[in-house]
Structure 1
């Protein structure tokens, strides 16, 4: 099946797809699939990272002037001059952009982001095509780390992509789909491995169903913003960033860090430099599962790592990582 982007986009403003999903669900991998198969379509990517190192933007392929970063915060927490300004930067470019994709943080509530497009002047210049929520079939549970954001990503998703189906049994996927239907029976539910999905099923689908919400009610928007600003506090999640101009010892990183990793770290990702290797290592951890991919360095080697979890001890984690560095 041809997976390339060949969309018949109507002239009704720039279409927007919001890609969301809990920590480690495969959002960046999906965006890379789109970028690698977009052909002549001009796609802009807006990446939001929870932390002050934007790892995701460094993992995207084919990055150029059509990628913008919104770092060190969750764009759902402030309705949101930063998001509006970033979209206007895209709209005002000399070269017309055909499609905008927003990758939220894994801890985002998508509703305020949706309302930013439907309750501001952007509604006359863009249209919200859909909210696509990825679900990690291996790690997702109905009480997913007791996170209200994880459930809201399901509730407001127009498309739910059950990802990483290769890591679990068919019965597990069926049970997960049945549960999701009890939360959001109107969503289109799809299944994938490695975030691979035909793009005609997820882009230019006109599935957004937000119209019933009170998007023009300023009091409603204010109250929504007030509640949403507390969701990270309610969930208890924090991020820790680590940088170093010295390489790690591979043995120390394995034994002193990975094998001693606290259970309250749910997600980690980074670009790692090991003394024993001339290659760049892309590190991804989701739950208890981690992966290292090898690439060639195209920049000066450095270590950049972001860890996300609940009730973390920053000093202890920073010291643990520092102890893994070479002298």
Structure 2
């Protein structure tokens, strides 16, 4: 966006509405960010909430799983937000705040391997700070699959360090002792963060929205130090698409044999002999497949027989994964 266009947008927005509060939702792969975002959208009680969702991978899965986003949703270009030097994010934000119809709140859902620090800088070092107010960085943690090895990734560690509110999600899957141990561990990393326990991303919205807990940028590191975290961390995304249905037993066997280097998988599935579509959500070795109504999707329904899958992890052999998936198809 040129300086003249940006200034014109700024002048227009400043005349039309007050600062828009912004919540950045971050968290490691499979922590439950999209589930939380759906909870927010389903319980917003009349608030006009705009959403920006970022995907890592060639196929847009997460935006298909969201509800009630239609014209208020801006899908960014492929790639992690913090690896695009934020220009696409800034343009998306200007497109939202300069709309004729005002909005009450803005939520940004990052990828599971995104460093929130450069995203925070978009609100503290650009003209956006005159029309938006960064309310909080909200970090979602999967207490069942949490391991300190995840945080060998600088980006994942920063999700905790810069989190104003940290949701310990999926607490129904572990003991109270595990939750307490994780609570103590996170407090040692982020002593000023508010920690909230939750199940299925269900949390009272007044506890996480418009809470005013974000203060200032809390790091002296330069943007350059954070711009190549995907390359340093070794994360890749493997995508797969086919119009042929999958054979369920073969596909389940394929999932059971996936390598431990795959941290997250998600997809829209069609199985042989079934008229239903299914949603795959996989975090670590645990996965679930739920049948859904095609009409539920927000203006992005894939073809009725299409399979769309994304696998995210480290040091993955894309050719092998795609070959094994092809063997699961009903040819």
Cα deviations by residue, 1:270-316 (Å, 9 ceiling, x for unpaired): 00010121111000000010011111223432101000010000110
| From 221, 241, 266, the counterpart of 2:263 | 266
Cα deviations by residue, 1:14-53 (Å, 9 ceiling, x for unpaired): 1100000000000000010111111221100000011111
Query: What is aligned with 1:5?
Result: none
Query: What is aligned with 1:149?
Result: 155
**Partner Cα separation in structure 2 for residue 134 and residue 213 of structure 1:** 21
- Say if 2:258 is the partner of 1:253: no
**Partner Cα separation in structure 2 for residue 211 and residue 172 of structure 1:** 31
- Say if 2:211 is the partner of 1:225: no
Query: What is aligned with 2:101?
Result: 95
Query: What is aligned with 1:140?
Result: 146
| From 277, 283, 293, the counterpart of 1:286 | 283
**Partner Cα separation in structure 1 for residue 181 and residue 219 of structure 2:** 30
| RMSD, aligned CA | 1.4
1:1-327 correspondence to structure 2 within 5 Å = 12-144=18-150, 146-211=152-217, 224-255=222-253, 257-298=254-295, 299=301, 300-301=303-304, 302-327=306-331
**Partner Cα separation in structure 2 for residue 78 and residue 69 of structure 1:** 14
Structure 2: 5+ residue runs without aligned partners?
Answer: 1-16, 296-300
Structure 1 runs of 4+ aligned residues shifted over 6 Å read none
**Partner Cα separation in structure 2 for residue 20 and residue 54 of structure 1:** 18
Question: Is this contact kept in 2: 1:147–1:235, CA < 8 A?
Answer: yes
Query: What is aligned with 1:7?
Result: none
Question: Is this contact kept in 2: 1:79–1:116, CA < 8 A?
Answer: no
Cα deviations by residue, 1:241-283 (Å, 9 ceiling, x for unpaired): 111111111121112x112212211100000010121111000
Query: Structure 2 vs 1, CA of residues 211 and 144 (structure 1 numbering), >3 Å: closer, same or farther?
Result: closer
Question: Is this contact kept in 1: 2:82–2:114, CA < 8 A?
Answer: yes
Question: Is this contact kept in 2: 1:134–1:160, CA < 8 A?
Answer: yes
Question: Is this contact kept in 1: 2:237–2:312, CA < 8 A?
Answer: yes
TM-fit CA distance, 1:93: 1.0
Question: Is this contact kept in 1: 2:268–2:278, CA < 8 A?
Answer: yes
Question: Is this contact kept in 1: 2:77–2:88, CA < 8 A?
Answer: no
Query: Structure 2 vs 1, CA of residues 237 and 50 (structure 1 numbering), >3 Å: closer, same or farther?
Result: same
TM-fit CA distance, 1:212: 5.4
Structure 1: 5+ residue runs without aligned partners?
Answer: 1-10, 215-219
Question: Is this contact kept in 2: 1:250–1:276, CA < 8 A?
Answer: no
Query: What is aligned with 2:8?
Result: none
SS of 2:168 mapped into structure 1: strand
